Amino acid sequence: MTIVLVHGNPETEAIWDDLVPHLCGDAVVRLSPPGFGSAIPSGFDCSTDAYRDWLASELTKWPQPIDLVGHDWGGGHVVRIAMERPGLIRSWTSDILGCFDADYVWHDMARAWQTAHIGEQAVAQMLSLPAEALVQRYESLGMTSAIAQKVAAGATRDMGRAILALYRSAAQPVMRDLGFGLPRATAKPGLALIATEDSYCGGETLARRSAERAGAKVAVLKGAGHWWMCQQPKQGADAINAFLANLN
């Protein structure tokens, strides 16, 4: 089997560094969405639909069966595949199921990015930070020093452009409306990873509600924040491995 990992914002594939050694797949592939550690192709509009289509295309390049795992916006792209292109995968795992609940409210930074002029100012401020300051910021949010340094090195103008376009394409009621499709995700086995201290994805109640609608199993990482793969890499991998071990 092939485990395919997809990261989110404002990240690069480095966030998986400590998790990968604990995963039990025949092969582990890390995919970097355009703008987030890879170049933005000509004509790519960085919308949530564009990322769904990008991921669908990438999945055709790797050996089946594919077990798809996503974090942050990567988890959002994974859910889109589970709902709309389930034939491409054997299973799916996401840590942002709560974002697809009808009661989800985007966090403060997301709403800033979604606002004209304010979003541009926020991105410009991020890109103007010295590398050391950005590393310290990521460390304070839960990344290890080594991973924070790699992620900070990936903060580019392309990433800023991708952030604004992606979040604006998913401003409410878009995420709520996408969530209406969660029952279609029951086509393939799913796992909802819930980090109890993650303040960006709506909390455990919304995540469990969405998981139930998607027919997904639930694994709770107690005490872990948004970057659980940096804080609890073995526990996170154990949850994924246990889920995959029970698949036919």
Q: Give residue-wise pLDDT tens across range 108-159.
A: 999 999 999 999 999 999 999 999 999 999 999 999 999 999 999 999 999 9
Q: Give residue-wise pLDDT tens across range 82-95.
A: 999 999 999 999 99
DSSP structural state of residue 40: P
Query: Where do the structural domains in the chain lie, given as residue ranges?
Result: 2-105+173-245
Contact 77, 33 (CB under 8 A): yes
* Closest to 234 measured CA to CA, from 2, 90, 23: 23
Q: Residue 220, Cβ neighbours under 10 Å: how many?
A: 16
Span 223-239, average pLDDT: 98
Q: Give residue-wise pLDDT tens across range 183-211.
A: 999 999 999 999 999 999 999 999 999 99
This prediction has a pTM of 0.97
Q: Helices marked H in the chain — which ranges?
A: 48-59, 73-84, 108-113, 118-128, 131-140, 145-153, 157-169, 174-179, 203-214, 228-231, 233-245
Q: Which two tokens stand for residue 104?
A: 């989800």
Considering the domain 2-105+173-245, what is its CATH architecture? 3-Layer(aba) Sandwich (3.40)
Q: Which residue has 């092969």 as its token pair? A: 27
